[in-house]
A and B are shown apart, each in its own frame.
Chain A
């Protein structure tokens, strides 16, 4: 967990006791996480364990029904909305914090009416108010970094899934996020396209980026992580050093999970 000392021990992201209920079903029953600069936390769990919901609660794409989120030491202020959700109270604060937290979606979610270059330059231009020339120059450099510079003028519809996801990662990087959340970034990809996306994320880990990654790629989760969390039915079942977690799982559920996914 590099960088923790340099930062005086203050976590970049601190989520406490996050809960989320959809109607009668409580998907998250109180999950906490601290991410310090340089942490790469991989989050494992069977489908339905709440790991994607947890990630989405961290930047309020999903409004939690309980708990608190602190980004860069700043708590996101919320108010209850009568249906038990903790709605963000200050939209301006939320927008400001979201601009510093990247989010990479399972389904890429590129904007189909913009070129790849347009997609990557959009955030800097519209949210950060960077000049067009500067935003596009930087977007092109980022596309080169993810290996897509020659396809800058393509529309998303003309890219493979792996290329789209790499473009989506470039779009996230363009905002210069201090923390990036990955929500199953390779789950929508054909098997032969998974590698190219994982390679890009590995590169980001080598740069010392702070990331939370929900994934089903076990080898990748073990190798890239500084810490691994295993969620089961809305609770953290096991949490710790990835090597220890993968080689000596303590809980029976994690053992079963690994047996199923490592075969």
Chain B
């Protein structure tokens, strides 16, 4: 075993890419489920009523305050302790490490996304909400048309950051037998004893994946912030007139 094993890396690349694909699935699916779960949590967190805030507070307190690894073990090893779950209709799903990892990551990232959402909702200038109320919009309509779109713009960079943190956190999936990128690298090392090459290759693949994600989020930010970019041209075509009598001219 002398010299750096470029050829080993090349040989292992298909397997490592397989692992990367598992990592990507874990991150993207949990990022999406986490976001869906975070919506009600974050909205409830920003409520002015203390009793509405309490439930998401407890949830966020637990999932932000304990290590992801502990949460993963609690779900992977813990759920099987319960007879009711083993006999339950979802056991065929919950016994799969893949499903356990997805579930844990979704619950975990939801807590962080909910906090991001709460901050973003509270950062929307109150005047914009008042303007919605003043034309007769109710809570739901205001949320849908003003608060959430504005919070999405404000919170998107922080959400992108959270997704990248989850890419790295997802390496923990390898501890419950999953062959994600890290798990695959460790499995390969068990056969070829090339720890440096394998982990280096895995690290580079993580870098590339995160770089792509960053670019995608940058594009999304640009699309969302088009209202701050250069102004459009003045409208040149003649203005269509409404039927007369609808609105008297000034």
Interface residues of B in 217-238 (CB under 8 A from A): 226-228, 231-232, 234-236
A141 vs B247: C-alpha distance when bound (angstroms) = 8
A111 touches B135 (CB 8 A): no
From B135, B232, B240, B246, give the contact of A123 (CB < 8 A): B135
Chain B nearest Cβ from A26, distance in angstroms: 23
Interface centre among B132, B138, B227 (most CB of A within 10 A): B227
Contact present for A154 and B131 (CB under 8 Å) = no
CB pair B235 A153 closer than 8 Å? yes
Task: State whether B247 touches A158 (Cβ < 8 A).
Answer: no
Chain B 204-220, CB-CB to A under 8 Å as 1, else 0, gives 00000000000000000
CB distance from B81 to the nearest CB of A (A): 46
What is the size, in residues, of chain B's interface with A at 8 Å between Cβ atoms? 35
Question: Which single residue of chain A is at the shortest CB-CB distance from B135?
Answer: A123
A1 adjacent to chain B (CB < 8 Å):
no
A246 contacts the other chain (Cβ, under 8 Å)? no
Chain A interface size range:
35 or more
A59 lies within 8 A of B134 (CB): yes
User: Taking the complex as formed, is B86 at the interface, i.e. its CB lies under 8 A from any CB of chain A?
Assistant: no
B137 touches A137 (CB 8 A): no
How far is it, in angstroms, between the C-alpha of A170 and the C-alpha of B107 when the chains are bound?
45
A91 vs B141: C-alpha distance when bound (angstroms): 13
CA–CA, A122 and B246, complex, Å: 18
Q: From the candidates A95, A105, A141, name the one contacting B127 in the complex (CB within 8 A).
A: A105
Of chain B, the residue at the smallest CB distance from A59 is: B134
**Given the complex, which residues of A lie within 8 Å of B232, measured CB to CB?**
153-154
Pick from B133, B137, B248: contact of A126, CB below 8 A: B137
Closest-by-CB residue of A relative to B132 is A111
Cβ B145 vs Cβ A122 within 8 A: yes
Q: Which of B5-13, B38-46, B146-154, B178-186 contacts A (4 or more CB under 8 A)?
A: B146-154
| Least distance between A221 CB and chain B CB atoms (Å) | 20
Quick one: which of B128, B141, B231, B248 contacts A111, CB cutoff 8 A? Answer: B128
Q: Do residues A155 and B239 form an inter-chain contact, with CB atoms below 8 A?
A: no
C-alpha spacing A103/B133, complex, angstroms: 10
Are the CB atoms of B135 and A127 closer together than 8 Å?
A: yes
| Chain B residues positioned under 8 Å from A168 (CB to CB) | 131
Asked if B249 CB lies within 8 Å of chain A CBs, one says yes
Cβ–Cβ contact A157 & B228, under 8 A = yes
A227 contacts the other chain (Cβ, under 8 Å)?
no
Indicate whether A203 sits within 8 Å of B135 (C-beta atoms), given known contacts A61-B130, A155-B228: no
B128 and A109 contact, CB distance less than 8 A: yes
The DSSP consensus for interface residues of chain A is: helix
CB distance from A152 to the nearest CB of B (A): 5
Would you call B242 and A112 a contact (CB within 8 A)?
Answer: no
The answer to whether B136 and A152 have CB atoms under 8 Å apart is: no
With A151-B234, A151-B235, A203-B250 already in contact, the answer to whether A98 and B227 are too (CB < 8 A) is no
- A155 engages B227 (CB within 8 Å): yes
Pair B141/A127 contact, Cβ less than 8 Å: yes
Contact in complex: A137, B242 (CB < 8 Å): yes
What residue in chain A is nearest B225 (Cβ atoms)? A113
Report whether B150 and A95 are in contact in the complex, using a CB–CB cutoff of 8 Å: no
Q: Closest CB of chain A to B26's CB: distance in Å?
A: 32
Q: Please list the 9 inter-chain residue pairs (A to B) with the smallest Cβ-Cβ separation, ordered nearest first.
A: A99-B136, A155-B227, A158-B231, A109-B127, A103-B134, A109-B131, A123-B135, A203-B250, A98-B136
| B interface residues, Cβ below 8 angstroms from A | 125, 127-128, 130-138, 141, 145-146, 149-150, 153, 226-228, 231-232, 234-236, 239-242, 246-250
8 sampled A-B residue pairs with Cβ under 8 A: A59-B134, A97-B136, A112-B128, A141-B247, A149-B235, A150-B234, A155-B227, A203-B250
